[in-house]
Amino acid sequence: MAKPKVCDDWLAGCAGCEMSMLDIDERILQLVDLVDLRSTPITDLKVPDESGVDVGILTGAVNNTYNEEVAHTMRKRAKILVALGDCAVFGGVVAMRNFFKLEDALKRAYVDTESTEPGSKVPSDPELARPMTVKAVGEVVKVDVNVPGCPPEADVIFHVLSELAQGRMPELKGELLHWH
Amino acid sequence: MVNLKIDGQEISVPEGTTVMRAAEAAGIAIPKLCDHKELTPYGGCRLCLVEVEGARTLQPSCTLPVSDKMVVWTNTPQVREARKFVLTLIFSERNHFCMYCPVSGGDCELQNSAYAEGMTHWPLQPNWQPYPVDASHKDFMLDNNRCILCRRCIRACGELVGNFTLGVEERGARTMVIADLGVPLGESTCISCGTCIQVCPTGALIDRASAYRGREKDSQKVKSVCAGCSVGCGIVMVTRDNNLLRIEGDWDAPVNAGLLCEVGRFRPLDDPGERILTPLVKKDGALKAATWEEAIAVAASKLQPLAGKNGAGVSVVASPRLTAEALCAVSELFGAKLGSAQLATIDEPTPAPLRSTRPEFVGTLADLKDADCVVVVGADLVADHQVAGFLVKRSLPKGTRLIVVDAGENKLKLLADYAMTPKEGAERAVVAGILAAIKGQTGDAFSRDSGVAADVIAGAASIVSAAKKVVVVAGPLMHLSGALSELADATGAKIVSIYGKANTRAAAAYKLDGVFEPKGKQAVFLSLGDDKPDQKLVQHIQGAPFVIVQAAYASQVTAAADVVFPVETWAEQEGHFVNVEGKVQQARRGLTPPDEVWSSVKVLQTLAQQMGYELTADWQEEF
């Protein structure tokens, strides 16, 4: 049997989930034996194969139109879509922005900050992705596996990935669904 | 009895039991949030929905009374689906990002419910609406973002404490828990008992001192007794790394059943000041750190020659916050062995317990539960012995009539059917007047003596005579009065005497009930424990030729001492407390004392040995 093809991409997040993924330590070698790792943010291949992959993993929340596009592409090309970490599952820390008006948040970031030169403007180049209300991945595309945690523990990530690599749908319960 | 079947198990429970309680009795746990065993069922959260055969829809088990031949299923796919949906609605209603919060401490019931249902996410997103946070109260905060509107706090405030400060405003999604008519908690009628934070299933009402300071698994819980007053409430000390995080009321405690007042819950966490960590001995006019051997030897050499000198000997005062064992040791060493006739406590001298004179009238705080008329005479249950006050206040909505007789200010009067303010010390005359009115005699003389109008006395008397069960809560100056005994004779009333500090009753039993008068004595011995000496005591020991102090904290008294023994605090000591009803309860050690600190009992025993005495430390277990 061919190894399952796995892709990973990040949306609006802090890369903490990827750090936690690396925390699985030497077990990553077992995973590499089990799967064919395709596109990730740190490999040369940046987008999932057009021909389709078995598992797509997304971390981070959907924060702008670019994130939305990435999520749609991943959904279209992956048989199983995993939302990894609180930002992907719920919106997480990124979604705290939703308590403010988007204009206020942008103004604070680009105009009002103490280190900003006077006269600065909010970038408005049409090439740029447009920020929007922060959403969980599940609000944009259908998610098959939700893995909450900020970040999810390495053991939880290993469980999810190894189950998927062996063709099973991972189930999170008991100790794998506890953060205290 | 009603017979029903829950999850295939045959169960028999009394009529009127709810399905929730019936299931609990059978060892079947039904998830719940708004339900609490000490509160009236409310049916607000819908997490406890169960399937009842023949019923059209799922039923909330917390409000559903059992009926005969009922068949209940608590864990069907339909029920589990409903629970997840209920939780989804609760999570999305406000800002509950705590579902995956790693610092909740494991005591968030909402989070635990989600874990129990295996929820990895919820399909409905919140509406990103910030809600008010009320941080105006000195001891706790109300964060409406975390509130699930279960109304446990509101029910606890009213049903358990009788204070009715908390309520809700608005309706539907705009519903908000508020204090009084929407004032900040810190400016409200809140009496800071903290019962609301103890029942809150989420982090909506959180204790400022302990929030985020320890997860459940990192903290220890020790059951003990409150040393705040003589009611003797059962407490749970929550500690972590030998720090006291918070104090909770013990739901299983016989006296308070989970309740605590501000004095018991919050004030023990206040900064107590500088701890004394080594024995101190005065050398060349200044207190210097010393070894235990040295300090004991200095004290013993001073005390030993005073044996048997009675009038000119040693004057002793002990704190009523000490354990019965320590009070017994003080009494034995200085009374029986050294022959001092001068034994006292910091507390005012207190009368002998009522039990010794008229046992047939003795009531307990539990009698307040089914009283239909409560007469409070000469006791301020709002200022002192507050939990006893809660028991009175919470009975009022059930129709219990309240009569308050007090020469002083007394906030309980605001709630009374008849509130009487006689002349100073004339409470007895009012009681005698009530008695006369019940017997159909004229009460004019009593009205004149007390300054309370005759028709008020007559009105109170009509309530008392109409009542089926009268309980008189009497302060220290009242409970032995002949008028009260006669009133009890005439009406069958129970008398609950209320007075003193945590162990005043034990102190009295050990004859530590004299008046402290160090004048003319050659030495003063103060066993303070962690008590704070008042100015009167400080002035009293001024000019005493030799002062020996057992104390946990530095004070003006220790500064004036010749020898200071560092001893354990209430949270560190082990022993027994005798509450105002005579109930003997065990205090357990919640915190480990610092290395060089001894228990009061050990100090007294060592001191006795040095002088050639052996203390039996044979404290009685009956009071």
Tell me if B622 is assigned to some domain. no
Residue B176 has pLDDT above 60, yes or no: yes
pLDDT band of B179, cuts 50, 70, 90: very high
Chain A residues inside the 8 Å CB shell of B144 = none
Tell me what pLDDT residue A180 has.
52
Least confident of B130-134, B515-519, B542-546: B515-519
Non-local (6+) Cβ contacts of B271 within 8 A are none
Does one domain contain both B529 and B566? Answer: yes
Q: What is the pLDDT of residues B335-354, one digit of tens each?
A: 888 888 778 888 766 665 55
* Domain-terminating residue out of B497, B515, B534: B497
* Domain-terminating residue out of B497, B529, B554: B497
Does one domain contain both B388 and B434? Answer: yes
Provide the angle, in degrees to the nearest 10, between the axes of the packed helices B427-438 and B454-466: 60
Tell me what pLDDT residue B324 has.
95
Q: Please give, rounded to a whole number of angstroms, the shortest distance from the CA of B124 to a CA of chain A.
A: 9
pLDDT band of B132, cuts 50, 70, 90: very high
CB contact at 8 A, B571 and B225? no
Chain B residues inside the 8 Å CB shell of A136 = 121, 125
Does one domain contain both B256 and B336? Answer: no
Residue A78, domain extent: 5-96+131-174
Residue in B104, B121, B215 nearest the CB of A138: B121
Please tell me the number of Cα atoms within 13 Å of B112 on its side-chain side: 13
* Domain-terminating residue out of B471, B497, B523: B497
Chain B residues inside the 8 Å CB shell of A135 = 125
Tell me what pLDDT residue B308 has.
81
Inter-chain touch B115–A177, beta carbons under 8 Å: yes
Q: In what order do the strands lie in the sheet with B140-143?
A: B133-134, B140-143, B205-207
Q: Is the peptide bond before A151 cis (omega within 30 degrees of 0)?
A: yes
Tell me if B621 is assigned to some domain. no
Chain B residues inside the 8 Å CB shell of A180 = 102-106, 215-217
| DSSP code per residue over B510-550 | TT--B----TT-SEEEEEEETPPPPHHHHHHHTT-S-EEEE
Q: Please give, rounded to a whole number of angstroms, the shortest distance from the CA of B99 to a CA of chain A.
A: 9
- CA dist., res. B550 & res. B19, Å (int): 56
Q: Please give, rounded to a whole number of angstroms, the shortest distance from the CA of A98 to a CA of chain B.
A: 6
- CA dist., res. B623 & res. A146, Å (int): 63
3-state secondary structure string, chain A? CCCCEEEEEECECCCHHHHHHHCCCCHHHHHHHHCEECCCCCCCCCCCCCCCEEEEEEECEEEEHHHHHHHHHHHHHEEEEEEECHHHHHCCHHHHHHHCCHHHHHHHHHHHCCCCCCCCCCCCCCCCCCEEEEECHHHHCCCCEEECCCCCCHHHHHHHHHHHHCCCCCCCCHHHHCCC
Q: What is the CATH number of the domain that holds B512?
A: 3.40.50.740
Tell me what pLDDT residue B254 has.
94
Give chain B's contact residues with A (Cβ, < 8 Å): 97, 99-106, 115, 118, 120-123, 125, 128, 130, 215-217
Q: What is the pLDDT of residues B267-277, one digit of tens each?
A: 999 999 999 99
Closest chain B residue to A93, measured at CA: B97
Tell me what pLDDT residue B443 has.
80
Q: How many CB pairs under 8 A join A and B?
A: 55
> What integer is the mean pLDDT of B156-181?
96
Does one domain contain both B508 and B429? Answer: no
Q: Please give, rounded to a whole number of angstroms, the shortest distance from the CA of A54 to a CA of chain B.
A: 22
Q: What is the CATH number of the domain that holds A21?
A: 3.40.50.700
Does one domain contain both B491 and B516? Answer: no
Tell me if B117 is assigned to some domain. no
Give the SS3 label for residue B35.
Answer: coil
Chain A residues inside the 8 Å CB shell of B128 = 95, 98-99, 133
- CA dist., res. B44 & res. B27, Å (int): 23
Provide the angle, in degrees to the nearest 10, between the axes of the packed helices B600-610 and B324-331: 20
Inter-chain touch B118–A173, beta carbons under 8 Å: yes
Angle at B599 between CA B595 and CA B600, to 5 degrees: 140
Which of B101, B113, B125 should we substitute to test contact with A (largest number of A Cβ atoms within 10 Å)?
B125
Q: Please give, rounded to a whole number of angstroms, the shortest distance from the CA of B106 to a CA of chain A.
A: 6
**3-state DSSP: chain B helix, strand, coil percent, rounded to 5?**
30, 20, 50
- From A57, B335, B543, select the one nearest A48 (Cα to Cα): A57
What phi and psi, each to the nearest 5 degrees, are found at residue A64?
-155, 180
- CA dist., res. B607 & res. B548, Å (int): 12
Inter-chain touch A180–B118, beta carbons under 8 Å: no
ipTM over the 0.85 cut-off: yes
Residue type, B233: C
Does one domain contain both B135 and B234? Answer: yes
Chain B residues inside the 8 Å CB shell of A152 = none
Give the SS3 label for residue B25.
Answer: helix
Residue A156 has pLDDT above 90, yes or no: yes
Does one domain contain both B440 and B377? Answer: yes
Tell me what pLDDT residue B413 has.
96
Which of B87, B96, B121 should we substitute to test contact with A (largest number of A Cβ atoms within 10 Å)?
B121
Residue in A98, A135, A148 nearest the CB of B100: A148
Provide the angle, in degrees to the nearest 10, between the axes of the packed helices B109-116 and B77-93: 140
pTM assigned to the model: 0.91
Does one domain contain both B462 and B513? Answer: no
Domains held by chain A: number: 1
Non-local (6+) Cβ contacts of B413 within 8 A are B404, B406, B419, B421
Measured CA to CA in angstroms, residue B308 lies from B290, B314, B615 at distances of 29, 10, 17
Does one domain contain both B320 and B361? Answer: no
Tell me if A124 is assigned to some domain. no
Closest chain B residue to A98, measured at CA: B128
Tell me if A122 is assigned to some domain. no
Tell me if A21 is assigned to some domain. yes
Q: What is the pLDDT of residues B475-513, one digit of tens each?
A: 887 756 788 888 998 999 999 989 899 999 899 889 888
Which of A104, A146, A157, A179 should we substitute to test contact with B (largest number of B Cβ atoms within 10 Å)?
A179
Give CA B248 to chain center in angstroms. Answer: 10
Residue in A136, A147, A177 nearest the CB of B118: A177
Chain B residues inside the 8 Å CB shell of A85 = none
Q: What percent of chain A has pLDDT over 70?
A: 98
- CA dist., res. B474 & res. A70, Å (int): 76
Q: Please give, rounded to a whole number of angstroms, the shortest distance from the CA of B109 to a CA of chain A.
A: 13
Residue in A91, A178, A180 nearest the CB of B105: A180
CB contact at 8 A, A31 and A24? yes
Q: Please give, rounded to a whole number of angstroms, the shortest distance from the CA of A45 to a CA of chain B.
A: 30
Residue in B101, B120, B130 nearest the CB of A146: B120
Give chain A's contact residues with B (Cβ, < 8 Å): 83, 86, 89-92, 95, 98-99, 133, 135-136, 138-139, 143, 146-150, 172-173, 177-180
Residue in B100, B121, B130 nearest the CB of A150: B100
Tell me if B92 is assigned to some domain. yes
B117 is written with which tokens?
Answer: 């249902």
- CA dist., res. B270 & res. B284, Å (int): 35
Tell me if B573 is assigned to some domain. yes
Q: What is the CATH number of the domain that holds B147?
A: 3.30.70.20
Chain A residues inside the 8 Å CB shell of B106 = 180
Q: What is the CATH number of the domain that holds B83?
A: 3.10.20.740
Does one domain contain both B317 and B434? Answer: no
Domains held by chain B: number: 4
Inter-chain touch B121–A89, beta carbons under 8 Å: yes
Does one domain contain both B371 and B493? Answer: yes
Tell me if B68 is assigned to some domain. yes
Tell me if A159 is assigned to some domain. yes
> What integer is the mean pLDDT of B314-322?
93
R_g of chain A computed on alpha carbons: 18
Inter-chain touch A138–B123, beta carbons under 8 Å: yes
> What integer is the mean pLDDT of B122-126?
86
What phi and psi, each to the nearest 5 degrees, are found at residue A157?
-60, -45
pLDDT band of B317, cuts 50, 70, 90: very high
Chain B residues inside the 8 Å CB shell of A95 = 128
Q: What is the pLDDT of residues A86-102, one digit of tens each?
A: 999 999 899 989 999 99
Tell me what pLDDT residue B104 has.
67
**DSSP letter (8 states) at residue B336:** I
> What integer is the mean pLDDT of B77-86?
96
Residue B99 has pLDDT above 60, yes or no: no
Does one domain contain both B231 and B243? Answer: yes
Residue B383, domain extent: 354-497
Tell me what pLDDT residue B349 has.
62
Residue type, B534: D
Closest chain B residue to A146, measured at CA: B120
Q: Please give, rounded to a whole number of angstroms, the shortest distance from the CA of B116 to a CA of chain A.
A: 8
Non-local (6+) Cβ contacts of A4 within 8 A are A34, A35, A36, A53, A54, A55, A164, A165, A167
Q: What is the pLDDT of residues B510-535, one digit of tens each?
A: 988 888 888 888 899 999 999 999 89
R_g of chain B computed on alpha carbons: 28
Q: Please give, rounded to a whole number of angstroms, the shortest distance from the CA of A91 to a CA of chain B.
A: 9
